[in-house]
Structure 1
């Protein structure tokens, strides 16, 4: 577990270089769409943290936002949390989660929240083991028909 270095992934080019991981979470996400969405998200303070191996390869990452809502207070939202399939079960997810929780405390957040795809049962087990609770449903409706 100590073989990985965590650091914030800064700047558009370094974030764009992580498409290979985002694609594991979202297999239908072409690089062009990832590029387009990053451009839309960055002005709203979207940030990323990565876990890097000894060769400086990013093997896990999480995007995150810090904001506030009435029901949660100030929060850190984990977004696009993924560990490379070849590196799973090595403690990288725990390292990333611990880093994000420490940042949330440092930033004065009241809560940490996330969405997990309904079909991602491995993620559900991980987050429940890490002390997260299922609070509700996240509804989504496309405006394009």
Structure 2
């Protein structure tokens, strides 16, 4: 499999919508995601991707910011690898590409949230050296 890693151009951001919908069990419509991603690409957001040839098989959104507790930081968002490509070492390779990319941009830390019940992701991120610092809360207005 000819696997490649790259940063998706903002003009191509809607190509990630099918994977984002799989990640979130199609809870958000395509129309809403298009609107949100159009805004996101104007707000220090980028998306890394894994391709098998021309087929998009993995994504990781990246929010670039400066935080008082961690300095120049990247928050990973909607990290997802399609089911048929899991357990093949791609996650580890993908994260290495992301680490290298954000370090070249001058960022010192990476953080992320993961769903409470997603136990395989917890193990993966802990093996990658991430530490649990707290809880992520959300309130819809």
Per the shorter chain, which TM-score range? over 0.9
5+ residue gaps, structure 2, are none
Match of 1:3 in 2: 2
- The offset of 1:109, in angstroms, is 1.4
Contact 1:60 1:92 in 2 (8 A): no
Contact 2:50 2:57 in 1 (8 A): yes
5+ residue gaps, structure 1, are none
Match of 1:119 in 2: 117
Give the TM-score normalised by structure 2: 0.93
User: SS where residue 117 of structure 2 aligns?
Assistant: coil
Match of 1:83 in 2: 81
Distance 1:26 1:72 in 2: 28
Moved over 4 A (4+): none
Match of 2:36 in 1: 37
Match of 1:100 in 2: 98
Give the TM-score normalised by structure 1: 0.91
Is 1:49 aligned to 2:56, yes or no?
A: no
Distance 2:88 2:18 in 1: 19
Match of 1:64 in 2: 62
Distance 1:111 1:86 in 2: 30
- The offset of 1:87, in angstroms, is 1.0
Number of residue equivalences? 140
Distance 1:33 1:64 in 2: 19
Match of 1:136 in 2: 134
Distance 2:16 2:102 in 1: 23
Q: CA RMSD in A?
A: 1.3
Contact 1:61 1:96 in 2 (8 A): no
